[in-house]
């Protein structure tokens, strides 16, 4: 079966380097999928769950911001934040989600709505990533 190489890096570390059959990632304009022999392109990444298939099994990685470069059967993800589903602390993500929802509910206070919305989106995506990984048997 044809494969492609995925590498996920952040400013702090290399998160992943594997041969896989498929990669799906959250672009800023919507999710995109990559199979071997894909046409080269570059995309900005949004906040969400990147998933890849390796040996027929789905694996999940939370990503937030950055870029994806696809060329020559290689997917390079340069993310601001990336966490394997197995690394996500669900309690911490739930607390972050709760804090963001509380701030949003307090309409009387002057808050940075866009910043709060981004924090909420990150927390929900982390929780969903961890849940997806559990459902696929990878966590």
The helix or strand, by DSSP H or E, that contains position 84, with its residue range, turns out to be: strand 74-84
DSSP 115: H
4-86: CATH superfamily? F0F1 ATP synthase delta/epsilon subunit, N-terminal (2.60.15.10)
More confidently predicted of 30 and 103? 30
Q: Give 88-135's CATH code, choosing from 1.20.5, 3.40.1350, 1.10.20, 2.40.128.
A: 1.20.5
Average pLDDT over residues 47-64: 94
Q: What is the helix, strand, coil percentage profile of the chain, to 5?
A: 30, 45, 25
Average pLDDT value for the chain: 87
**Is 80 exceeded by the pLDDT of residue 135?**
no
Asked if 77 and 63 touch (Cβ cutoff 8 Å), the reply is yes
pLDDT of res. 138: 44
φ and ψ at residue 94, rounded to 5 degrees: -65, -40
Q: β-strands 22-27, 74-84: how paired?
A: unpaired
Band (90; pLDDT cuts 50, 70, 90): confident
Average pLDDT over residues 81-101: 86
Band (55; pLDDT cuts 50, 70, 90): very high
What are the boundaries of each domain within the chain? 4-86, 88-135
Q: Rounded distance, CA 39 to CA 85, Å?
A: 28
**Is 90 exceeded by the pLDDT of residue 102?**
no
Band (117; pLDDT cuts 50, 70, 90): confident
- Report residue 119 as tokens: 């924090």
Neighbours of 41 (CB within 10 A): 12
């Amino acid at each position: 079966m044809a494969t492609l190489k995925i590498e996920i890096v952040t400013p702090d570390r290399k998160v992943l380097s594997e041969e896989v059959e498929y990669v799906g990632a959250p672009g800023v304009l919507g999710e995109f999928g990559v199979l071997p022999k894909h046409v080269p392109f570059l995309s900005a990444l949004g906040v969400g769950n990147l998933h890849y298939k390796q040996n027929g099994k789905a694996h999940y990685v939370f990503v937030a911001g950055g870029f994806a470069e696809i060329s020559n059967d290689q997917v390079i993800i340069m993310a601001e934040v990336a966490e394997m589903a197995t690394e996500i602390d669900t309690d911490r993500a739930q607390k972050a989600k709760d804090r963001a929802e509380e701030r949003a509910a307090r309409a009387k206070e002057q808050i940075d709505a866009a910043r709060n919305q981004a924090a909420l989106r990150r927390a929900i995506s982390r929780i969903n990533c961890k849940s997806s990984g559990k459902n696929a048997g990878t966590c």
